Amino acid sequence: MEHYAVEWTEWIVHKVLYWESDDERKGQILRAFHHFGVYALFTLIIISHTLYPAFWLQTILLMFCILVWAHHMLTHGCVISKVEQRLMKDEKSFLDPFMTLFQIEVNEKSKQGILMLGSSLAVALLSLEWISRFSYSALPVLMKYLVQAPVTAAASSLHIPLPLSSP
């Protein structure tokens, strides 16, 4: 599956960046967009928990993070990074500066492990936070409507006149 995903993604990159004939230049463009997307996602997650804590935004970001996590698990890493590396004929990824900073050996196995661990941890924490927020705000409202619905439906189907006041 990993090989097929990399081949398909590279084909899409060649079709989208049709005006560029140099593969290394295509890789640089793809890397720039990839890094922009990663940092934009981090920024949006921070904003959704500080400046604009909207439940709908956190839900969308969680679903996107789950898709990215599933992509990392199914393809043993990031397909976009693998296409970048193939086009540019190098082994760099966006994790390299962080691994160098913390003096971790930079090789393919350690990059995959850190990427999978980091994305799994991020999805787990965001999921727990989402479940907590859902159970605190949305679940009581939902339960209120679920409990009232059968009573309202039964009373309206019987057409029993209810007294307006007690005697």
Beta carbons of 74 and 6 less than 8 angstroms apart: no
Q: What is the pTM of this model?
A: 0.75
Question: What number is the average pLDDT over the span 112-132?
Answer: 92
What angle in degrees, to the nearest 10, is found between the helix axes of 23-49 and 79-88? 150
| pLDDT single digits (tens) 142-153 | 778 777 755 555
Question: What number is the average pLDDT over the span 118-141?
Answer: 88
Check pLDDT > 90 for residue 135: no
What's the confidence (pLDDT) of residue 141? 79
Question: How many CA atoms lie less than 13 Å away from 142 in the CB half-sphere?
Answer: 6
Check pLDDT > 60 for residue 167: no
What's the confidence (pLDDT) of residue 115? 87
Cβ neighbors of 146 (< 8 A, separation 6 or more) are: none
Nearest to 31 by CA among 72, 89, 76: 89
Nearest to 44 by CA among 60, 68, 66: 60
Question: What number is the average pLDDT over the span 101-110?
Answer: 87
End-to-end Cα, the chain, rounded Å: 75
Share of the chain above pLDDT 70, in %: 89
| pLDDT single digits (tens) 72-103 | 899 888 899 899 989 998 888 878 888 889 88
Alpha carbons 133 and 55: distance in angstroms, whole number = 8
Check pLDDT > 70 for residue 158: no
| pLDDT single digits (tens) 40-75 | 999 999 999 999 999 999 999 999 999 999 998 998
What's the confidence (pLDDT) of residue 160? 58
Alpha carbons 27 and 30: distance in angstroms, whole number = 5
Question: Average pLDDT over the chain, rounded to whole?
Answer: 86
Check pLDDT > 70 for residue 155: no
